[in-house]
Each structure stands twice: as C-alpha cells, then as structure tokens.
Amino acid sequence: MTALTVPTDMPEPRNLVAGRWVPGGDPTVAVVNPADGQVLTTIPDTSEAGVDEAVRAARAALPAWRSTTPFQRAAVLHRLAAAVRDDLEELARLVTLEMGKPIGESRGETAKLADAFDYYAEEGVRVYGETIPNEQAGVTSIVRYEPVGVVGAITPWNYPLELIGWKLAAALAAGCTIVVKPSEYTPSSAVRLFALLQGAGVPDGVANLVLGAGTAGRALASHPDLDKLAFTGSEATGAAITRSLAKAIPTSMELGGSCPQIVTASADVDDAVAGCLRRGFRNAGQICIAINRVYVHRDVHAEYVDKLTAGVAALKVGPGLDNPDVGPVTNAEIRDRCAAHVEDAVARGARVRTGGTSQADRAGTWVTPTVVDDVPHDSLIVQEETFGPVVGVVPYDTSEEAVALANGTDAGLAAYLYARDLGEVFSIGHALEFGNVAVNNPDAGIMNAPYGGRKGSGHGSEHGREGLHAYLQIKHLRIRYGK
C-alpha cells in the first residue's frame, strides 16, 4: 500500500464547552508523533476553572436533553454515526499520527466508533421498565430507568476514538450529558470528532470536551457536581481517581490487566498461534485485553513456541501510515517498560526467542516484537501488564496448574483458552476468574455483549445493554390509585 501523506496542519487544540470552541489556557503539553519523535501540536492542560465551566454547561443542558424521547436521541446518534463514516479517513489519519497504530487498524477503530453510535441509538429505545404487583389492592409499583445525570469521562490513548465512543454513545442514548477528557497523547482525533456534534444535532452543552493532562484529569475526576465517572486506564490511576472523588457517585472503571492465554494438549496449535499473533501484537500490544502471558501444555510447548517465534519474527514493523503489521509504541514509558520486563525475565532464567533488542537510540518510540520462553511466575511479564509487543510463554503439566497460574495475578479482565476437548473448554472456561473468556478465538469483546473486568481490572460494564444501563438509575414509583 502506498504511504499516505502526513498532513501539515492539525486541528486547533481547543475545548468545546456549551457548543463554543474556547481556549483552555496556555499550551503546555506537547503531542508527539511516536514514529519520528516530532512534535505535532501542543495542547492546554485545562485549569480547574475551565473544567468547572464544562461541567456547568453539562448541568445546564441536562434538563432539556433528558426530556427528549429515546427516539429523538436515536435520530441524533444515527446522524453522528453517518458523520463519522463520512469523515473516516481524516479521523483515522489523526489517530495514526498521534498514537502510532497502522492506518488500517485506525480505519477499523473509526468504523467501530460509528457502529457504537448506531448500536446505542437502537439500544436506547429498548429500555423497558416493569410493573410489580402489590399485596394491597388499589396500589401498583412501577420500576423505571432514568438518566444518571452529568457524566465525567476520562479516556486513554490506545483507542482514542473507540473508547470515547463507548462512553459518549451510551451516555447520550441514556439521556445524560457528558464532559470528556481525552488522553494528552492523542487529543486531535477527539477534537475532530467533537467538531461533528453540532452538525449531527447534538444540542449545545450536551457533550463537552476538555483537553489536558494531570491538572484537567484531577479537576474532572474530583468535581463535586458529577453524577457519574467513567474511566479507562491503568489500575494505579483508577485507584487514585477513586480516592479523589468528591462524593459517593457511580463509577465505571476498565483498568486492563495481564491477560493469559491457555493452550491445552488438545488445542489446534496453529489456531492458538494465530490468536496470539493477533491479540498479543495487534496495536503493538497496547490493548487492555492483549495476550501478555501464555501457558502451554508441555506436550505441545515446543511446537507452539517455534511457530509463534517464526510468526512474530516475520511481522513487518514500520510507521503506521505505511500500514505495517506493527507500528511504534505510543510513548517512551511503554518502550522502557517493555525493555525492563524482558531484562527482568532473562535475569530470572527465561530465554528470548525473537526480538528483545533495545531501540532506545532510534527516533520515535519503537519496540521489536518479542517472544520470551520459560518465564517464571514471579517475573514482571507475568505479574504486571507490559502493554507492548512482548509475550512471555510458560509450559505447564496439568489443567489445574494452568488455571492456578492464569488466576494467580490481580488481573481479571480477559483470558483466552484454546482447546478442542469439550471437557477442557467448560472446566477451564468456568474456572478462569475473568470478566471475559474467549475460547478458540482472539476476540474477547463484542459490542452487543457486556464487557468488563474483575479483581484489579475494574468494575462495571461497557458494551451491550449493560453498557447503557451503566448510565441509568432505577426509580421505584409506588402509586395508590384506589381506596
């Protein structure tokens, strides 16, 4: 595929508040192209006052928006989906420039953003209450679902459009208003997306955007006038946000985790290798549900590792606009973490089968796709989320051992199981302590099924009707109508 031309201009880095583009303060945060280390733009770290202005705009817009019918909101969301599809190429290009992923993956992410708006447009008109009988004659109870109110959303850089979409689409469909703070690493695609809102019919103040890093994030998370906070990011940041809440409000937190793949002796090894290549190295491994560690039955361990090593060594690495298999990682923190995890595993006796070489002297932030074999359970690759194109492999002897190893960390978001024996599928699948378990496939999440974690990987659900109900609250209306 011919390399795309890098655009010479970027969206002006401004906040969208009450339908107006406003400056967020002096630009203080540089946004860097991870492919070459060049500064693409600078954004403000919006002050507490700027965040407060956005929350007040959302509060002012709430009464009118929550009073619209689900069908009216659905029409707006469908128009927004169409606008995203019309602008897909530019949105995708901005994602690749700032985040680094291959342009083909950015196009796929943008298409899924549009799908999310369409999905929640339809799901929003299917929110049903119920009528409950009472012991007393002449009295009835109605259970209804109402918008939770003003939502604060803090989103990450690895899927800078799609993960905004999950929150924005569900919140708007539910009748909520929202303030979104995107990652400081990938703000421009969010600015471009919010520029589409007014044309799609989103009323002023219903959806607001504030740019920034730590100052803006802390101000939004701790704002006293939020009714709900939705966050996707690291476990440490999620814990800090929880401690900073101004009052007891509902929260949804997707905090990632070190996701395991189990490959049993009955598995189709080629299938399992293909699954790991996709889910371990897609988006340079920067996925909350990326395969981080692999437990392979000793009978097929050598075959699996040889085939995985060959597949990883053949991956094409290059700038995202050239549409390679793997682009750069988004920032130096990820690059350095990958190197530290490999170094730690080797020091504990593991063996690098491919990759593992440092690229710290190369312009941009690059990590060679890496496979490390015979990784000890106490190594960083196993115990922490690497969040880069590095996979550690561990042989095992019994199903009980594999389950114990897979469950033996604080991660609980997603796990992958490859087995053709039906007994293994159900016994291991049920024993895994994860919110999502994919069997004989590498896709642990789909839009119309709930997606969320356990243990240190967070709480609450996105996707499915559960993702919509996360933005609704229950009311019991008990009516006496007779004597």
Supply the residues annotated as catalytic.
254, 288
Enter the tokens of residue 238: 């999620």
Token readout for 51 is 């965040």
Sequence length of the chain is 483
Backbone angles phi, psi at 371, to 5 degrees: -120, 130
Q: What are phi and psi of 101, to 5 degrees?
A: -70, 155
Contacts of 302 (CB under 8 A, 6+ apart): none
Task: Indicate left, alpha or beta for 25 from its phi (over 0: left) and psi (-120 to 50: alpha).
Answer: left
d(CA 344, CA 330): 22
Three-state DSSP at 479 gives strand
| Distance separating alpha carbons of residues 100 and 33, to the nearest angstrom | 7
- Name the token pair of 403: 């389950």
60 burial (CB, 10 Å; 0-12 / 13-18 / 19+) is: middle
Exposed, middle or buried, 338 (CB in 10 Å: 0-12/13-18/19+)?
buried
Nearest-angstrom CA–CA distance, 164 and 230: 10
Distance CA 42, CA 90 (A): 19
Q: Which residues, other chains included, contact 72 with Cβ-Cβ below 8 Å and sequence gap of 6+?
A: none
Q: Residue 75 in contact with residue 201, Cβ under 8 Å?
A: yes
- List phi, psi (to 5°) of 354: -155, 150
Ranges of H-type helices in 318-388 = 332-347, 380-383
**Beta carbons of 298 and 396 less than 8 angstroms apart:** yes
Q: Could you please report the per-residue DSSP string of 217-231?
A: HHHHHT-TT-SEEEE
Distance CA 458, CA 476 (A): 28
